[in-house]
Amino acid sequence: MAAGIYCFQPYCVTGELDPPANPLICPQFCARFNDLDNIGLTGRHYSGFIMLGIQVFNKPDDYKFFKEECVEFNYRWLTETLGIDPDDITFVEDVWAGGGNLGPSVEYFVRGLEVGNMVFMQYKTFHDGSREELAVKVIDVGIGLERIAWLNNGTYTSYSDTFKHAMEYFQAKTGVELNEEVWTKYGPYSCTLNIDEVADIEQTWQALSNKIDVPVDQLKNSIQTVKEMFIVLDHTRTILIIISDGSLPSNVGGGGNVRNILRRSFAIMKQRGWWDLIGGMDGFIEIFEQHKRDLFGIYGEFPEYKSFRAIIEGEYERWMTTDEAQAVNLNKLLQKKKNVLTIDDWILAMTSWGIPVDTISKISGQPIPGNLYYEIATRQEKVMKAPEKILYNTIHLPETKSIYFDANKQMDFTGRIVDVFANQLEENKLNLVILDQSCFYPTSGGQLHDTGKLSIEGVDRVF
């Protein structure tokens, strides 16, 4: 998941291009894989959720609104539209940075639940840590839609609001029952089981048991089964959106995340006996259809995706028939590590060898680490390429005509130099030439850039 403003950096932020609208409301489905261990427990964590984005671009000659007005608008929305008691609202000021920009941010909470975040982008940042004021002052607001439904309905968990039809179908087929008495008591304290914030999970369960006066074993049993139902419902909704958007399961990058949550869903369904109760693959595919019903009011009819079922079936077959050679690798690793796997070993077996996590657990005899998916996502975030920082202001320049779009076989051209920039990454050498038109194709869409020479007053320069 990335900030919604990344879609508009850098050119709408610099003022070189206009956004589709200003102000702009931009809801987007966000995939987030570093909270998988918390899903089903806390009531607020998802692998995929809908972020309501609001962006505003205040140009020097076209001011819309900025900090004070934005905070006021959000406050009035909470108190007047949603009817929230002002005493239940908390604003927390922080700093946000990303994509070469920086500015203050204000998060707002209702009774401890973070509902939204307002980012006010004021500066452009540089590699040396310096910054300068942006000519265009930008607002980027993010609001979690599922949390608003949860807050408005006052239910014990947001999942029952989010997966209404899918949950009803699942329960009818599998017989999973939700102990409302326990969940009503547990709901207000569910945040205490946030895996990445808990030092001793067993101690936390016991403290929670004492607080709500439910025996710890009864509490765990009441939560665990329903938690795993919520995991399946969450993961299948995310898979529906991601595959419909063009991604495919694989062993690397984002595709690896899709494969992980799909296989996790298969494993839970099999271990609980739900796969047979739901009717095998036909019933599993029906879960996706129920998600479409739940999402209809937001997305409308989903376009037909003829190969969707074939993709799911193919992944199921791969999961069921893990390559024996990979199991041999795991057994060798177990011998080397004296049957004790570290978190690094788990991640190696999953991401490099493609072994399903439940298979690793079965072969090794070890329980799945509680923070496994968090660690995988955290490490992926560290190697992700951040959006390029914009080092140069080109707003005053006319757009360069791209000759290669109309004449992709043309090998030479004549252009006029409109400006020359000092290269901030090469000791400010004057070697960045801006032309009025160009036949050089820049690296884009996975295709590498053109190379050649530029002749200036008879002197050749190689590029």
* β pairing state of 401-402 and 101-110: unpaired
Q: How far apart are CA 407 and CA 420, in angstroms?
A: 26
d(CA 25, CA 115): 17
Contact in structure between 216 and 222 (CB atoms under 8 Å): no
The residue count of the chain comes to: 463
DSSP string, 297-333: HHH-SPPP-TTHHHHHHHHHHHHHT--HHHHHHHHHH
The answer to whether 284 touches 173, Cβ cutoff 8 Å, is no
Domains of the chain: 4-151 (3.30.930.10), 155-321 (no CATH), 401-462 (2.40.30.130)
Distance CA(443)–CA(20), nearest Å, equals: 25
Taking only the tens of pLDDT, the chain with its 463 residues reads 567 788 888 888 888 888 999 999 988 899 988 888 889 988 889 999 999 999 999 999 999 999 999 999 999 999 999 999 999 999 999 999 888 889 999 999 998 899 999 999 999 888 778 888 999 999 999 999 999 999 888 888 899 999 999 999 999 999 999 888 898 888 888 888 887 677 788 888 999 999 999 999 999 888 999 999 999 999 999 999 999 998 899 877 678 889 989 999 998 999 999 999 999 999 999 999 999 999 999 889 999 999 999 999 999 998 887 656 677 888 888 888 888 899 888 888 877 777 777 788 888 888 888 778 777 777 766 555 544 555 677 777 888 888 888 887 888 999 999 998 888 778 788 888 889 999 988 876 567 888 888 888 878 776 5
Residue 182 CA to residue 447 CA, distance in Å, equals: 56
The structure's pTM equals 0.77
